[in-house]
Amino acid sequence: MSPQSESKRPDGSAILVTHAMQLLTLRSASGGTGPRRGAQMRDLGIVADGAVLISDGKILAVGTTDEVAKHELLASKPAHVEEIDCSGKVVLPGFVDSHTHPVFTTPRLIDFEKRSSGASYEEIAEAGGGIRASLRGVRDARTEELVQHIVSGLDEMAAYGTTTVECKSGYGLNFAAEMKSLEAIREASHQWPGTVVPTLLAAHVVPPEHRENPDEYVRIICEDMIPTAAKLKLASFVDVFVERGAFTMEQSQRILRSAVDHNLGVRAHVCQLTPAQLSPLLEFHPASLDHMDFVSDEDVALLAKLDTVSTLLPAANYFLGLDKFPPARKLVDGGVAVALATDYNPGTSPTTSMPFVLSAACTHMKMSPAEAIVAATYNGACALRLQGRKGSIEPGKDADIAIFEAEDYRELAYWFGVNRCRQTLLNGTVYFQGGNSH
Ligand SMILES: [Zn+2]
């Protein structure tokens, strides 16, 4: 397959997507602007024979093909209109992958092989594998090498229909390598036509040189890394891995407090391997809490009242060979806003495919296909606080659109291990032309 980019088009030109068998607009039936929960997660706002008119990277009009054809821009006979005929296809907002770790250099094949012979995540970390195994590659790499790795990950994501990606640092684990990782994310975001949201995850694990004194590493994060990332506008969010073997709740609070003090958004990896009480994190108003495999019933009730999204990452459970998956039904039925993301990373989730995540969510977490699509688009945008621009196909929003070879939206979660995405529009740039070329 050969991604192909057309970033420049003539002035006054437009793109007209027509005849979508099902256009999933995800427009809000209630007009609400918060994350979707409960029954709202089953409403895709489907238009049959749907069309979308796009100009200057923004959506101008949405409706049936007949309705959109009457738009004044088309009546005024613009210099150039590129029509994309979507007969027999499903068109939806591009996926928002709100949790990825793309700044690494090599796959972790030793970990993979060890795990397939029975070793656990924690046993592998104890043996020097795990997150620390990616550290050397990132510390030694030149920024340009990291940029290349990130862009190739982003290109793959676009090929699967993803248009917005949150990118975390977190394999550098010292000041220089974390800042280099964030700079690489920034450069990659300039080279890729989609939208990238950078996150500082220096608090991924404690690096070996601070193993005897983890609080010193926490101090460096709070006093050096966060202020610098904020000052240079290298990160929108700060993330922390709250877990046995990573950071304690108290250390995590120190880090999140520093983030809030520097006007950065906050998010956390929590309840992945062991249960944790969430209230000490919720006081920082996180945009999202991620993994949530071990969330308690009391915390589900608490989250149902908040706009903090719970981002579930079933591809990690799949790859780790776990029997248990994140409790999506408990969360959705409890009124919590749920998002889905890939957790793309070399250790626990080496996939760039949101359609695979949809499949895992439906087969292993018993989400409905509609719930999974809302979680992978609009609620993903909420997890990045970008729902004003992303996550639905509505006039005024960014022209982020995925076109799938499917006649029914349920097929998006039904086919797995194959790519049925045929075209992706990233901020109005027609990026991936798939088809049968591979
Ligand atoms: Zn993660």
H/E segment holding residue 432: strand 429-433
Q: How many CA atoms lie within 13 A of 171 on its CB side?
A: 30
Is the pLDDT score of 4 beyond 50? no
Give per-residue pLDDT as tens, 392-438.
999 999 999 999 999 999 999 999 999 999 999 999 999 876 543 32
Q: Chain centroid to CA 352: how far? A: 10
- Cα of 100 vs centre of ligand 1, distance in Å, is 6
Q: Are 100 and 383 in contact (CB under 8 A)?
A: no
d(CA 413, CA 372): 8
- Predicted pLDDT of residue 12: 62
d(CA 200, CA 209): 20
**Residue 11 pLDDT grade (very low, low, confident, very high; cuts 50, 70, 90):** low
- Cα of 269 vs centre of ligand 1, distance in Å, is 6
- Cα of 408 vs centre of ligand 1, distance in Å, is 31
- Cα of 290 vs centre of ligand 1, distance in Å, is 8
- Cα of 57 vs centre of ligand 1, distance in Å, is 30
Is the pLDDT score of 105 beyond 50? yes
- Cα of 343 vs centre of ligand 1, distance in Å, is 5
- Predicted pLDDT of residue 121: 75
Give per-residue pLDDT as tens, 242-269.
999 999 999 999 999 999 999 999 999 9
Q: Name residues whose C-beta falls within 8 Å of residue 21's C-beta, 6 or more positions apart in sequence.
A: 48, 49, 86, 87, 88, 89, 90, 406, 407, 408
- Cα of 316 vs centre of ligand 1, distance in Å, is 9
Q: Phi, psi at residue 155, to the nearest 5°? A: -60, -45
- Cα of 202 vs centre of ligand 1, distance in Å, is 12
Is the pLDDT score of 3 beyond 90? no
Q: Are 345 and 106 in contact (CB under 8 A)?
A: no
- Cα of 361 vs centre of ligand 1, distance in Å, is 17
Tokens read off for 133:
């195994």
- Predicted pLDDT of residue 262: 98
Average confidence (pLDDT) over 275-281: 97
Distance separating the N- and C-terminal Cα atoms of the chain:
5
Is the pLDDT score of 309 beyond 80? yes
Is the pLDDT score of 201 beyond 70? yes
- Cα of 351 vs centre of ligand 1, distance in Å, is 12
Among 252, 268, 262, 174, CA closest to 226: 262
Which residues is 54 bridged to in the sheet?
15, 59
- Predicted pLDDT of residue 128: 73
Average confidence (pLDDT) over 196-219: 97
d(CA 54, CA 370): 25
Is the pLDDT score of 235 beyond 70? yes
Average confidence (pLDDT) over 52-75: 95
Average confidence (pLDDT) over 206-229: 97
- Cα of 380 vs centre of ligand 1, distance in Å, is 14
- Predicted pLDDT of residue 160: 97
H helical segments located in 34-96 = 65-69, 72-75
- Cα of 244 vs centre of ligand 1, distance in Å, is 15
Percentage of the residues of the chain whose pLDDT score is greater than 90: 86
Q: Chain centroid to CA 195: how far? A: 11
- Cα of 428 vs centre of ligand 1, distance in Å, is 29
Average confidence (pLDDT) over 81-96: 97
d(CA 104, CA 435): 30
- Cα of 173 vs centre of ligand 1, distance in Å, is 15
- Predicted pLDDT of residue 86: 98
- Predicted pLDDT of residue 384: 98
The alpha carbon dihedral of 390, 395, 399, 401 has a sign of positive
Tokens read off for 72:
């004044």
Is the pLDDT score of 7 beyond 50? no
Average confidence (pLDDT) over 203-222: 97
Angle in degrees, CA 84, 88, 93, rounded to 5: 60
Instruction: Give 222-234 as a DSSP string.
Output: IIIIHHHHHHTT-
Burial class (CB in 10 A: 0-12, 13-18, 19+), 437: exposed
- Cα of 11 vs centre of ligand 1, distance in Å, is 41
- Cα of 203 vs centre of ligand 1, distance in Å, is 11
- Cα of 309 vs centre of ligand 1, distance in Å, is 15
- Cα of 167 vs centre of ligand 1, distance in Å, is 10
- Cα of 199 vs centre of ligand 1, distance in Å, is 11
- Cα of 206 vs centre of ligand 1, distance in Å, is 15
Instruction: Give 329-381 as a DSSP string.
Output: HHHHHTT--EEE----BTTTB----HHHHHHHHHHHH---HHHHHHHHTHHHH
d(CA 216, CA 202): 13
Averaged confidence pLDDT in the chain:
94
- Cα of 101 vs centre of ligand 1, distance in Å, is 6
Is the pLDDT score of 224 beyond 80? yes
Give per-residue pLDDT as tens, 109-154.
988 988 888 888 778 877 777 777 889 999 999 999 999 999 999 9
d(CA 230, CA 284): 17
**Residue 51 pLDDT grade (very low, low, confident, very high; cuts 50, 70, 90):** very high
**Residue 90 pLDDT grade (very low, low, confident, very high; cuts 50, 70, 90):** very high
